[in-house]
Every structure is written in structure tokens, then in C-alpha cells.
Structure 1
Amino acid sequence: MRLVYVLDTNDLRLAGEFWTAALGFEPVDVPNRPYLELKDPNGRWPDLLLQEVPEPKTGKNRMHLDMVVPDLHAEVPRLLALGAVHREGPVEEAHHRVVVLADPEGNEFCVIDHLTGGGTAR
């Protein structure tokens, strides 16, 4: 089995540019639209498959990505400069500092750093 994350988008080019830069992944040409595959060049993380859909996003994501980073104060401004939108935070919860952002189409994701100790994020 291989796990792949799929994210719906209305603008495949815009979403591809954002998530490629945000994650440091490389785009892989998929012969047939409506898909764009993004791969971790080091093979550590599951692929992110962007799927172009006609309907706009409505409501809160039922599943989202968490980006656990070593320096929240450096990563959040970098993502905002790429086109992310600030939604919430930073807030502290369960030994983590969390900022909720959204990609240019409104798909929420969390940027998280560890304050102390171990554990998992949200």
C-alpha cells in the first residue's frame, strides 16, 4: 500500500505553484488533466496529488495537512509571502505552538512547532 494525499483545487497552476514552493516538492507531469502530482524529492513524505474540480471550496476542511517546522517565526512569513492567508494563531496547545493558514484557494493547513517535550500535533 502507498498513501497519497489528494487536494481539490479550482486552479491547478496556482495550487501547483503554491504547494511546490511551500513543501519543496517537485511537480510530476500527469498526462491527463485534471491532476498534478507533487513528489518529495527525498522520498520521505507521501505524494500530494492536486485534482482540478469545477466546484469551489465550501466550509471547513474535514482533513488538513500539518507542517511541523523547527522555526515557526521564519516559516509562517515565508508561507504568507507565497500566497497563504492567516486564519488563526499562534495558539499554544499540547506542547505545540500552532498557526492556522490557508492556501490561495482557502484550504486550511497548520504550521506547528514544538514548545517542549514530545508528542504529536493536533
Structure 2
Amino acid sequence: MATKWTIGGDAADPQKLARFWAAALGYVIEPGFDEPDMAGIIDPDDVGPAICFGRVPEPKTSKNRLHIDIRVAGPGERDAASAERMRTKAAALMELGATQVREDFYGPELGHIVMLDPEGNEFCVG
């Protein structure tokens, strides 16, 4: 049996990041875990890991060594339909406060889209 685990992240505004990532992933704010210096989100189906954000005083200064990939392209080869799903998701995330950095290609097809969350943390939509 696998061990339950949680992803923890630093934040300038834990509630803002929790709201962004809850919307991005289809998660919900974790009941009882929403304080001024900490906020958490959980998968409402209890399948994915919980994610918590804790306030820290220092700003982000370098590239993430670990990041979240949002997978919407689907299995198998990349094609026009998978590119459309990735671009649609990226557009929705930009409306939530994300920034698109670039599109990376696998040969002629879109492989993934590199983005930044509202606090500048890198993630990909693939």
C-alpha cells in the first residue's frame, strides 16, 4: 500500500496560492486548514495528494527544483487536439493569474506549455 503524502510550498500569500491551485487542479480548500500564515487544498475525491502553502518572509529567488505538471493533453502522441487542450487550459489559468512563459515542442507538435503561478513558481501544462 502506498504512503499518503503532501506537497508543501513556500508562499508570500498562502491563501492566494491555495485559491489559484485549487481552481487549477479541481481541488478544494482544506477544511480547518486556512489560517493567515498557512492554507491547504485537497482533492475532493481523496485521490491526489494534499498541497499546503506556508507563509515565508523571503521572496522566490531561483528556478524551482520541483514543480507541478498539469496533464490535459491525454495519452499517446501529441497532435492538434492535444495542443488545443493544452492551450485552452493555459488560457484558463492565465485568467486565474498565471503567466505563460513559452511553448515547448516535441518535433513539430506542442509538447507542453511552461507557465508561472501568481507568485512566479514554474509549472507546465502538458
TM-score by length of 2: 0.79
- Residue among 44, 47, 56 paired with 1:44: 47
- Equivalent residue letter for 1:62: R
Distance 1:72 1:32, change over 3 A: closer
- Residue among 89, 108, 111 paired with 2:122: 108
C-alpha distance in 2 between matches for 1:12 and 1:38: 11
Q: Which runs of 4+ in 1 moved over 4 A?
A: none
Is the CA contact 2:34–2:40 (under 8 Å) kept in the aligned structure 1? Answer: no
C-alpha distance in 1 between matches for 2:122 and 2:62: 10
Structure 1 residue 33: deviation in Å? 5.0
Structure 2 match to 1:116: none
SS in 1 for 2:20: helix
Give a deviation string over 1:52-105, Cα, whole Å, max 9, x none.
Answer: 111110110000001111411211100111100111214227x87110101010
C-alpha distance in 2 between matches for 1:73 and 1:32: 34
Distance 1:77 1:2, change over 3 A: same
C-alpha distance in 1 between matches for 2:35 and 2:44: 22
Q: Which one is further off, 52-61 or 29-38? A: 29-38
SS in 2 for 1:30: strand
Structure 1 residue 37: deviation in Å? 1.3
- Residue among 12, 15, 24 paired with 1:13: 15
RMSD: 1.9
Give the total of aligned pairs: 111
Q: Which runs of 5+ in 2 are unaligned?
A: 74-84
Equivalent residue runs for 1:63-82 within 5 Å: 63-70=66-73, 71-82=85-96
Structure 2 match to 1:119: none
Q: Which one is further off, 66-75 or 23-32? A: 23-32
C-alpha distance in 1 between matches for 2:12 and 2:90: 24
- Equivalent residue letter for 2:10: D
Structure 1 residue 31: deviation in Å? 6.7
